[in-house]
Amino acid sequence: MFAVSPSNHLYLQKDLESSRRRFFSVSGARSKFRVRKARDSRCRSLFGGNGSSGLVISCLKRTVEAASPSKKRDGNESKISSSFSGGIEVRAMIKVRKKMKEKLTEKIDDQWEYFINGIGQGILIRLISEEIDPETNSARSIESSVKGWLPKPVNGVHVLDYAANFTVPRDFGSLGAVLITNLHAKEFYLVEVVVHGLDVDPIYFPANTWIHSRNDNSDSRIIFKNHAYLPSQTPPGLQDLRSKDLSSIRGNGRGERKPFDRIYDYDVYNDLGNPDKSKDFARPVLGVENRPYPRRCRTGRPPSASDPLTERRIEKPHPVYVPRDETFEEIKQNTFSAGRLKALVHNLVPSIAATLSKSDISFKCFSEIDKLYIDGVVLNDENHQENSQKLFLSNIMKQVVNAGQTLLKYEIPAVIKSDRFSWLRDNEFARQTLAGVNPVNIECLREFPIRSKLDPNVYGPPESAITKELIEKELYNGMSLEQAIEEKRLFVLDYHDILLPFIKKINALPGRKVYASRTVFFYSQTGILRPIAIELTLPPTPYSKTNKHVYTHGHDATTHWIWKLAKAHVCSVDAGIHQLVNHWLRTHASMEPYIIATHRQLSSMHPIYKLLHPHMRYTLEINALARQNLINGGGIIEASFLGGKYSMELSSAAYKNMWRFDMEALPADLIRRGMAVEDPAMPNGVRLVIEDYPYAADGLLIWSAIKEWVESYVEHFYSEPNSITNDVELQAWWSEIKNKGHPEKRNEPWWPILSTKEDLSGILTTMIWVASGQHAAINFGQYPFGSYVPNRPTLMRKLIPQEGDPDYENFISNPQRSFLSSLPTKLQATKVMAVQDTLSTHSPDEEYLGQVNQIHSHWIDDRRVLGLFTKFSSRLEEIEEIINSRNKDARLKNRSGAGVPPYELLLPTSGPGVTGRGIPNSISI
């Protein structure tokens, strides 16, 4: 009845949009609507019952009837169909996801979309054959339009099924792709296309993508079926489409990106500062020769007015561009990251600041810290009620709106939940270097004396002030230093060289005092690691070439309190390095170029793209949010961690001096740090120096499972000789990662060569490990370990008082208050706790390692690959059981014992919220 010739699509679409605007115009719309309501009551039952949406449909239907000569168009459709008489009747089911929560205007728009789709004017779909038509020398194709009225939801209330019918010639060949054209004025989310009626039934075309409006981009979207093809295996009919799709994703490198764009390109970190706001918010560009850095996704925004090298900022709450399909899905936006992170930054943190900033003072006693968990913080911000409704808080932070106030209450963190005073003990301080939130910096001490690699003309004598005599006093049974080194019983946490060049600048900032630290540990024969010496260093002064202080635990009261202060300084340094280097740089920032290159150089039908796709989810979006709100000039990291305005410069220095791709593999990193030795008889070829090293022991299980899965996958697709070197997309991908993703390091000799299956498997295993296990191990313990301020202060505000200093007498008279006054203030601590809660929380739609979300269940049609993945999933279930049994083993004192929290950060699965466990597939927070 409403069939329309394809030649009239654009004309009718404009006519319909014009009718729609007239129908919904504000002026006089209400009185006209009442007249229509009485006149059209007889139509409601057919088009939507008694609700307003049914009335909308009936009115729109009549509007189009008046404007559309349907009989002539019916004749055109019959003519087209008759040309394929004797063909195969095929139906394509198009699954479209709708919003879970819609405003009234959006619901009305939906009714309009249903109507337009129903008359065949909303979505065009073209089936593309894998065969070439010899007459046209191009792929065979056939087009139809989606038709149908008010589709019923399937697979949940928010997914709608539309249909398009085809009569396909019998010589059409195998179906390889579909082209989707969106004639609506706005985008829609395509879940998948399923084609029924051909010899292979059904054929799946997984999409999970936003389909842009033709008004924004005239090109149709290309969706390939779920079969993996190497470039050389691409069927003739798909070769041009494969190239065209990759070309559209790369873009031309010019212009500002629009929200509907799906373009991936590289840029430097020139968007952290805001010199237009103030010179205090100007920040240097990262990603230049003297400040190298991995590349981020290009947005193309114009330069700031004050500095042509700095990109103009997009400030909250406006979004930073990421390619359209990288944005958070609605469930994550509404229930977690976008909603909670934005609410945190826009509402919670300002409310905390409004409440506490006028009296931003130190904690005066430990009971004041305890009150954060017992009594909570009453937020007196005048917008508290509105803000409270915007906050999406997990069970860690509980809010109660009562008598015009918001109560923000924190849950007791795991580190003190069973033993409130565990943080005071030396063995707990040491245990967290092996089983805490930052277990990746401890090294075996292999040479003595400890030496700096910094320029002695600038930074003083390279030798550490920790002497042989001092260490031997702390060893058992007269053991010599040489014997302890030989038996691998001495370990060091060394932040001297990475921090000393920044100390003078940082200490000039208000409320910041930091040392370059070294901590030496002894591992006893009873399996206990304990700190025996801490060296805290300041830059040389004109009066002294060395400014190094060495502390030991001691037994008298004064030495005991100074030792606590020294440990607190080490913890603050460790927290800063953890956040800026190990967490942000080595996982978030380093993954971004891999993701960009994967989209730019590997077709979505490439088997390696399919392998990596789950491990790229949400990362670009969370990184963009971090650049906007967390690591930016004046952001939460600068305000709350030791580096202040020099935080990202410190991260860049770490990248320059420390980061290398080949050392991001877990076994290689453990060997580099001396925490493992090569042993061919052991799994993964390494043997741990400290058997009771929970991060490494559990991490090697996860690494091994990933490695086995990747090797079997690569073997399946690259069975032919030279298939790696002949894969043009794969070689371009690896070249681009090095040359465009990490250009300042492109000539380093340590980059793996990509020529064999073993090379590829090693590269992919490292990437997947970084995105999954490594990130999980150093991210989801932030609240459990870091939210008790004395255990892990993120900054220190005072140096350790020395005899003769003005503060020394205050320290002697009240060491507890002196200690607490050195920690972050109440405002700083409360803000950090809020941030750590958010960063430690799993979203309800989290996708965990070894699991496939239902919407991605048709990701590949290869039964052999699906069997290999099932084996991988089963292995992860076994690993979970192994880790649980280890946590009950009384011999493993770093993960069990009185008050010791079990080590669960590398347990593969988790529920939503702050659980201290679970390995997501990707860096999604």
Report the catalytic residues.
Answer: 583, 588, 775, 779, 925
- How far apart are alpha carbons 543 and 545 in whole angstroms? 7
> Tokens 């690569």 sit at which residue?
714
- How far apart are alpha carbons 709 and 715 in whole angstroms? 10
- How far apart are alpha carbons 525 and 300 in whole angstroms? 59
- Is there a contact between 364 and 389 (Cβ–Cβ < 8 Å)? no
- How far apart are alpha carbons 322 and 335 in whole angstroms? 20
- How far apart are alpha carbons 95 and 92 in whole angstroms? 10
Beta partners for residue 492, in sequence order: 443, 520
- How far apart are alpha carbons 785 and 792 in whole angstroms? 7
H or E element: which one contains 379? strand 377-379
Phi, psi angle pair for 753, to nearest 5°: -85, 140
- How far apart are alpha carbons 44 and 907 in whole angstroms? 55
- Is there a contact between 647 and 638 (Cβ–Cβ < 8 Å)? yes
- How far apart are alpha carbons 268 and 297 in whole angstroms? 8
> Tokens 């040389």 sit at which residue?
540
- How far apart are alpha carbons 343 and 350 in whole angstroms? 10
- How far apart are alpha carbons 176 and 139 in whole angstroms? 10
Q: Where do the H-state alpha helices sit in 544-683?
A: 557-577, 590-601, 607-612, 619-629, 636-640, 647-657, 666-672
Q: Tokens standing for 709?
A: 């899965």
- How far apart are alpha carbons 65 and 568 in whole angstroms? 77
DSSP states along 103-169: -HHHHHHHHHHHHHHHTT-SEEEEEEEEEEETTTTEEEEEEEE-B-SSPPB-SSTTEEEEEEEEEE-
CA terminus-to-terminus distance, the chain: 50
- On the question of a cis peptide bond just before residue 294, with omega within 30 degrees of 0, the verdict is no
Q: Which amino acid is at 866?
A: L
Within 8 A by CB and 6+ apart from 642, the residues are 506, 512, 514, 572, 573, 575, 576, 794, 795, 796
In terms of Cβ atoms closer than 10 Å to its own Cβ (0-12, 13-18, 19+), residue 714 is: buried
H or E element: which one contains 239? helix 236-250
Nearest to 570 by CA among 738, 741, 793: 793
Q: Tokens standing for 600?
A: 């730019």
384, 385, 386, 389 alpha-carbon torsion, rounded to 10°: 110
